[in-house]
Structure 1
Amino acid sequence: MNKFFILLFIANLSFAQNNITTAKIESDGKDGFHKLVLPTEIRSLSNDDLSDFRIFDSKKNEVPYYFEARSNQSSNTKFFPYKIISKTVVPNKNTVLIFENPKSTINEVILEMANSNITKPYSISGSMDNQKWFGLVNNTSLSTIYPEESPSGFSTVSIPTCFYKYLKIDFNDKKTLPINILNVGFFNSKISKETLLNVPYKSKSIKELKLGKKTQIQINFDNPQIISQISFTISNPKLYKRNVSVYKKATRKVKHKFENYQEQLASFELNSEANNTFDISKIFEKELIIEIENQDNQPLTLSDIQFFQIPIYIITDLKANENYTITTGNKDLNTPQYDLENFKNSISTNLPEAQIIETKQIKNNPKTTVNKTLWQESWFMWLCISIGGIAIAYFATSLAKDMNNKS
Structure 2
Amino acid sequence: MSAEKETISPIKMDDIPVKTISFSEENKKTQVHITFERPEVIHQMKLNITGPALYSRNATLYALRSREEKRNIETYRKVISSFSLRSDKDLVFDIPPMVEGELYLEIENKDNPKLQINSIEFMQKPVYMVAALKPQTTYKVTAGNKALNFPDYDISEVANTLKKTLSLATITSIKTIEPAKEAVTQTSFWQQPWFMWCCIGVAGLFIGIYASNLIKDLNKKQV
Q: Same fold (TM over 0.5)?
A: yes
1:275 aligns with 2:90: yes
Aligned to 2:131: 316
CA distance in 2, matches of 1:208, 1:261: 20
Shift of 1:349: 6.2
- Pick closer, same or farther for the CA change 1:300–1:335 going to 2, 3 Å: same
Q: Are the structure 2 counterparts of residues 342 and 275 from structure 1 closer, same or farther at C-alpha, using a change threshold of 3 Å?
A: closer
Which letter does structure 2 place at the counterpart of 1:323? T
> Is residue 208 from structure 1 mapped to residue 25 from structure 2 by the alignment?
yes
Query: Matches of 1:363 and 1:240 in 2, distance apart?
Result: 47
Query: Aligned residue for 2:155?
Result: 340
Distance, in Å, in 1 between the alignment partners of 2:110 and 2:14 is 34
Of the three residues 35, 38, 43, the one matched with 1:228 is 43
Match of 1:262 in 2: 77
Distance 1:310 1:276, change over 3 A: same
- Deviation by residue 1:186-210 (Cα, 9 ceiling, x = unmatched): xxxxxx954210001111111011x
Greater relative contact order structure (CA < 8 Å, 6+ sep): 1
Equivalent residues in 2 for 1:8-407 (5 A)? 194-209=11-26, 211=27, 213-341=28-156, 343-348=158-163, 350-364=165-179
Where structure 1 has 5 or more consecutive residues not aligned to the other structure, the ranges are 1-73, 75-191, 367-377, 379-407
Query: What does residue 87 of structure 1 align with?
Result: none
Inter-partner Cα distance in structure 1 for 2:61 and 2:127? 24
Contact kept in structure 1, 2:130 and 2:156, CA below 8 Å: no
- The residue aligned with 1:142 is none
Give, in whole Å, the separation in 2 of the partners of 1:243 and 1:329.
37
Aligned residues: 175
Closer, same or farther: CA 296–313 of 1 in aligned 2, 3 Å: same
Instruction: Give the Cα–Cα distance (whole angstroms) in 2 for the partners of residues 246 and 214 of structure 1.
Output: 13
**C-alpha distance after superposition, 1:304-356 (max 9, x if no partner):** 11001112222111123433111123344332343435545444562122221
Change (3 A) 1:334 1:365: farther
Secondary structure of the equivalent of 1:284? Answer: strand
Q: Give me the whole-angstrom Cα distance separating, in 1, the residues matched to 2:17 and 2:136.
A: 34
Cα RMSD over matched residues? 2.5
- How many angstroms apart in 1 are the aligned matches of 2:10 and 2:60? 24
- Look up the SS of the partner of 1:358 in the other structure: coil
Q: Secondary structure at the match of 1:360?
A: coil
Structure 2 equivalent of residue 5 of structure 1: none
Deviation at 1:256, TM superposition (A): 4.9
Question: Aligned with 1:202: secondary structure?
Answer: strand
- Decide whether aligned partners of structure 1 residues 235 and 254 sit closer, same or farther in structure 2, where only a CA change above 3 A counts: same
Asked if the contact 2:23–2:33 (Cα under 8 Å) also holds between the matched residues in 1, the reply is yes
Shift of 1:216: 0.5
What secondary structure sits across from 2:119 in the alignment?
strand
The question of whether the paired residues in 1 share the 8 Å contact of 2:43 and 2:124 is answered with yes
Residue matched to 1:123: none
The one-letter amino acid paired with 1:230 is: M
Separation in structure 1 between the aligned mates of residue 108 and residue 149 of structure 2, nearest angstrom: 43
Distance 1:272 1:345 in 2: 41
Give the unaligned 5+ runs of structure 2. Answer: 1-7, 183-223
Structure 1 residues 349 and 314: alpha-carbon distance in aligned structure 2, compared to 1, 3 A threshold = farther
Give the CA deviation at 1:222.
Answer: 1.4
For 1:352, what is the secondary structure of its paired residue? coil
Amino acid at match of 1:335: F
Q: 1:269 to 1:349 in 2, by over 3 A?
A: farther
- 1:70-111: CA deviations, max 9, x gaps? xxxx8xxxxxxxxxxxxxxxxxxxxxxxxxxxxxxxxxxxxx
1:139-188 CA distance string (max 9 Å, x none): xxxxxxxxxxxxxxxxxxxxxxxxxxxxxxxxxxxxxxxxxxxxxxxxxx
